[in-house]
Amino acid sequence: MGFLNFNQDTLSIIGITLRMSFFSTLISTVFGTILGLLLEKHQFPGKRIVVRICRTLMGMPPVVAGLIVYLVLMRRGPLGFMGILFTIEAMVIAQVVLITPIITGMVYTYAVRSAPAIRVFAKTMGASRLQTQFLFVREMKGEFYFAVVTAFSRAISEVGAVMIVGGNIQGKTRTMTTAITMLRSMGDFSQGITLGILLLVIAFTLQSLSDLLRKNEKTEENF
């Protein structure tokens, strides 16, 4: 086996990983952004506890998220009738459980720091509620980029949860991280290094894109 050895199995693994990471990040971004903004905007009894729980869940061990989803989706579980255990859909659900608190916590933190000043400015300018929301998103888009990139990086590099609910089935639920774990135990270090390098390249590309977007945003502000 040569270094950086590409074959049909490798391409399948990459495709499954990207699909899972994309959809889980997309869903988590929607839910996490809405929850983070609502948490910042509204005051209610027990809010501090809710915020503390959210921040605790930001560091949730992946195997715990995987186990919870497994118990829910197993045949005798509440959603066992769906029959989606050991599928990409199950892995996406596990990833959503894992990374939604990350986006929620980051958006909430950004909003607490920036939202009051933005609301005061919008009110001074006579902006409507909708215009205020657009202004809020525009002013914080750099932070949103970073939250999404962080969540995607967590999703694409995670192994514990997807191993539990996906089963590491060849051609169906085998991802880059679960494949690396399996290849190491098999002694196939060449293919494992291939996937490891690809993971690093993807992570580097995402970080570079995030930095570029932030740089362009600052350039526009200067003009």
| Domains in the chain with CATH codes | 8-218 (1.10.3720.10)
In angstroms, how far is CA 75 from the centroid of its own chain?
Answer: 27
Backbone angles phi, psi at 76, to 5 degrees: -95, 5
**82-166-88 Cα angle (round to 5):** 65
Tokens of 48: 């501090």
pLDDT tens string 3-22: 455 678 888 999 999 999 99
pLDDT-based confidence at residue 2 (cuts at 50, 70, 90): very low
> What tokens does 73 get?
């989706």
Residue 1 has pLDDT above 60, yes or no: no
Q: Is the pTM of this model over 0.75?
A: yes
Q: How far apart are CA 77 and CA 74, in angstroms?
A: 5
What is the total residue count of the chain? 223
What pLDDT band is residue 218 in, cutting at 50, 70 and 90?
low
Which DSSP string do the residues of 61-99 spell out, in sequence order? -HHHHHHHHHHHHSTTSTTGGG--TTSHHHHHHHHHHHH
Residues 6+ apart with CB under 8 A from 87: 166, 172, 173
| Buried-exposed string 114-143: b where 16+ CB fall within 10 A, e elsewhere | ebeebeeebeeeebeeeebeebbeebbebb
**Residues with Cβ within 8 Å of residue 115, at least 6 apart in sequence:** 40, 41, 136
Identify whether the C-beta of residue 198 lies closer than 8 Å to the C-beta of residue 123: no
What does the pLDDT read at residue 217? 62
CA distance 170 to 174: 5
Q: Judge whether 148 and 110 are in contact, CB under 8 Å.
A: no
| Residue 188 in this model has a pLDDT that exceeds 80 | no
How far apart are alpha carbons 214 and 216 in whole angstroms?
Answer: 5
Q: What is the mean pLDDT of residues 52-61?
A: 93
**Predicted local confidence at residue 121, as pLDDT:** 86
